[in-house]
Structure 1
Amino acid sequence: MDEPIRDFLRGEGRDGRGRRLAEVLAFDDARLEAVHDFIQWLFPLPDPSQAVPGSPVLGAAEAASIRADPRAREGLRAALARMARFYAATDHWLVRHDHNHRRITRIIAAARDLLGREAAAAFHAAVLARDREAGGVIDPVSLGYWERALG
């Protein structure tokens, strides 16, 4: 069965640009900010990306396969940890509107669906804490999207 997202998260496959998971996780913070076509591979959803047409769309069977695959889940956990470090170490996204707010929504939703609510809630709590530290600057609409993504 062809499962490119699962294979990528396992560290065996390549994303649409030919990168392996380890390469993407090794991006420095500046590259994570500048590159926009990796997040859909790290945090797949069943809906097409509006930001990056042609990105992978997660089907129900592949989602079930990821949930059942310890290596794919470990890759997803590593991606979640990397993005948590990115948002902890950078401040540019702590403004009213930023493309990272959509990324955060995607991360929360994918983590909830593929790793469980606890993993998604921990990430959600971390980004909310950063917003509070910055004086609560993020638009309430984005905060609402994050809350709904958590479920």
Structure 2
Amino acid sequence: MSGPVHAFLAGHGRDGAGRLLADVLAFDDARIEGVHDFIQWCFPLREASRAVPGAPVLTPTEADAIRIDPAAIDGLRGATARMARFYEATDGWLRPYDHNHLRITRILTALRDLIGQDAAQEFFELVMKRVQAAGSPVNPDSLTYWKRTLR
């Protein structure tokens, strides 16, 4: 493993709270909503988290290692599927401002950078389907960030 995020996504390493990816994927929706230090491990970015100090920052070497490791890609896809289920099953994020809007931006960015544009586009379409079905309650700035992430 090239680093801690890679090991976590591949299912062998633990996040900053000592959890395996399998532990996080088993969270119920209330824990997904209420726990704020897992998303940075499941969807790592090249920039530091402003919400969770000390969260991992994805290095270019680690990103390359994740991209070529089928186990890490499977882990990332598993995390994506779990978050998709959360956004499909819950409505609390369907309001003008919510911390989940930042999570969605993070997810789209990580998918684009680590799996590819198609994976990010697919997640975006799932989220937008829910937004539109709810009468488009999400603020325009969040929607703009999400669309920009796809470019």
Q: Normalising to structure 2: TM-score of the pair?
A: 0.98
Corresponding position of 1:53: 53
Pairwise CA distance, 1:141:
0.1
Does the 8 A contact of 2:95 with 2:137 survive in 1? yes
What is the distance in 2 between the residues matched to 1:81 and 1:23? 14
Consecutive unaligned residues of structure 1, counting only runs of 5 or more, are none
Deviation of residue 2 (structure 1)? 4.7
Do structure 1's residue 102 and structure 2's residue 102 form an aligned pair? yes
- Give me the whole-angstrom Cα distance separating, in 1, the residues matched to 2:2 and 2:10: 14
State, as a whole percentage, how many aligned pairs show the same letter: 60
Q: What is the 5 A alignment of 1:1-151?
A: 2-151=2-151
Residue 150 of structure 1: how far off its partner (Å)? 1.5
1:80-108 Cα distance to aligned partner (Å, 9 max, x none): 01000000000000000000000000000
Q: Which amino acid aligns with 1:45?
A: L
Aligned amino acid, residue 64 of structure 2 = A
Deviation at 1:53, TM superposition (A): 0.7
Distance 2:2 2:88 in 1: 35
Q: How many residues align?
A: 151
Structure 2: state its 5+ residue gaps: none
CA–CA distance in structure 2, aligned partners of residues 17 and 111 of structure 1? 23
CA contact (8 A) 2:2 2:65 kept: no
Root-mean-square deviation (CA), in Å?
Answer: 0.8
On the 8 A contact 2:2/2:61 being kept in 1, the answer is no
1:32, distance to aligned residue in structure 2 (A): 0.3
TM-score, normalised on structure 1? 0.98
Runs of 4+ in 1 over 6 A off after TM superposition: none
In 2, distance between residues paired with 1:129 and 1:97?
18
